[in-house]
Structure 1
Amino acid sequence: MNHKKINKIKESIISLLWPEVCPFCQKVCRDGICKECRKKLELLKVREPRCMQCGKQIRSVEQEYCYDCMHTHHYYERGLSLWNHKNPVNQSVYQFKYHNQRRYGILYSQELVKGFQKEIERWRPDIIMPVPLHPSRKRKRGYNQAQILAEEIGKILEIPVDSKSLIRTRKTSPQKKLGHQERKKNLKHAFAVKHTFQAVKRVLLVDDIYTTGNTIDAVSNVLKQKGVENVYFLTISIGQGY
């Protein structure tokens, strides 16, 4: 029996033991996201006009950039997020991140591709890279949620994924507990790129949440120091900023 058949049998057993559930309400649902949650998510969708840099929803087309981006120098070019980080999205992402709901990542990735395939094709990334976790945190959690997203998006769009070249060199305090300036300080020298990395022109970074952009910026900065020309990002959700 070949590997494909074995994997299909495994998947069938898993789906019998753990039926598909909606990642936003946990009700059994074969369609991924249930109809009720689809309606809620529609209201949380980040819509145009968006900030031309971080992709956050803004009040008017004339504005072009959100307050954060007008007052901050970013190292990345552009980014997009699917939903505003509010209930039930924030609860769902929390489960995905901290409670081993890895399967949610497949559904989030499908939604990201459905929502942003045209933009990704316009960016023409050479590779996709997940924002890394510190090794000790990854060991404790058992996985990196950003890597699950990156690999799934790469598989759908047939874009190579590099989840080894970017590393987290310093165990930082959780960003959500810190203020804006503390976040920047917290991430100083937190990331590095392995010497084996072969610089490409365009990188697409993938993470779960974008808040102030300090994490994406810190990673973008080290990539650009290694010769990457353009950095873009995708996240499931985005915060309201400052």
Structure 2
Amino acid sequence: MRCGKPVEKEEQEYCRDCSGHEASFEQGRSIWLHRMPVSGAVYQFKYKNKRNFGKVFAREMALCYEAQVRRWKIDEIIPVPLHKSRKRKRGYNQAGIVAEELGKLLHIPVNHRAVLRIRNTRPQKELNDTQRIHNLKGAFAVPENQKIKPNILIVDDIYTTGNTIERVAEKLKAAGAEKVYFLTISIGQGL
């Protein structure tokens, strides 16, 4: 099991999105499936300034996955970045809030500068699978002055097809990360 998304049959090793291709990340998990009431709470957190939800989501992440994170031997947590124009408009990066709170709970450093979103992309939720892949090409970069640690945990809000996590993981591996894992609040159903 790579991403933690539900599969149709017990004997399946990978979901539809993970099967048939290599991934730049080793493994990942999400707290909940992306359906109501979770999807509504994530929407409120992301678009309606419910920043305090970040603490709740991080607490649940720690409760569910602290042991897993310890097994992964995470050196540093990196939130998926927002483009500066989107962050300015929204006022905050929801992944950054969860990462920061999780880092405090697990006593793991958080690096908000390790990955930058250098291209303002369309929201992934508006796109089909093929468009999602093309939308994120060249969207992320690791600054040359960043020393990337060996075992990285990427934190984001929603894992749908995995394209965002994949693009960030690719950049981190190219910059020296040995292993990249992820945690998200919710995950698509994948069936």
- TM-score, normalised to structure 2, is 0.97
From 120, 134, 148, the equivalent of 1:185 is: 134
- SS of match in other structure, 1:195: coil
From 28, 50, 67, the equivalent of 1:118 is: 67
Cα offsets for 1:160-203 (capped at 9, x unmatched): 00011210000001111111111000000000001111121110
Distance 1:230 1:174 in 2: 27
Q: What runs of 5+ residues in structure 1 fail to find an aligned partner? A: 1-51
Please name the residue that 1:239 is paired with.
188
Cα offsets for 1:77-129 (capped at 9, x unmatched): 00000111001110110000011100000001000100011100000111000
The 8 Å contact of residues 77 and 154 in structure 2, kept in 1 or not, is answered as: yes
Please name the residue that 1:105 is paired with.
54
The 8 Å contact of residues 136 and 167 in structure 2, kept in 1 or not, is answered as: yes
Please name the residue that 2:121 is paired with.
172
**Equivalent residue runs for 1:32-43 within 5 Å:** none
Cα offsets for 1:191-222 (capped at 9, x unmatched): 00011111211100000000000000000001
Distance 1:112 1:199 in 2: 23
Identity of aligned residues (%): 53
More helix by share: 1
- SS of match in other structure, 2:170: helix
The 8 Å contact of residues 114 and 148 in structure 2, kept in 1 or not, is answered as: no
- 2:14 equivalent to 1:62: no
Q: Number of paired residues?
A: 191
Please name the residue that 1:30 is paired with.
none
Please name the residue that 1:219 is paired with.
168
**Equivalent residue runs for 1:1-242 within 5 Å:** 52-241=1-190
> Relative CO higher for 1 or 2, CA cutoff 8 Å, sep ≥ 6?
2
Cα offsets for 1:36-75 (capped at 9, x unmatched): xxxxxxxxxxxxxxxx101112244421211221123321
CA RMSD after TM alignment: 1.0
Amino acid at match of 2:103: G
Distance 2:76 2:12 in 1: 32
Distance 1:161 1:199 in 2: 12
- SS of match in other structure, 1:189: coil
The 8 Å contact of residues 6 and 190 in structure 2, kept in 1 or not, is answered as: no
Q: What runs of 5+ residues in structure 2 fail to find an aligned partner? A: none
- TM-score, normalised to structure 1, is 0.77
Distance 2:5 2:190 in 1: 9
Amino acid at match of 1:64: E
Distance 2:116 2:108 in 1: 20
- SS of match in other structure, 1:236: strand
Cα offsets for 1:140-161 (capped at 9, x unmatched): 0000000000000000000000
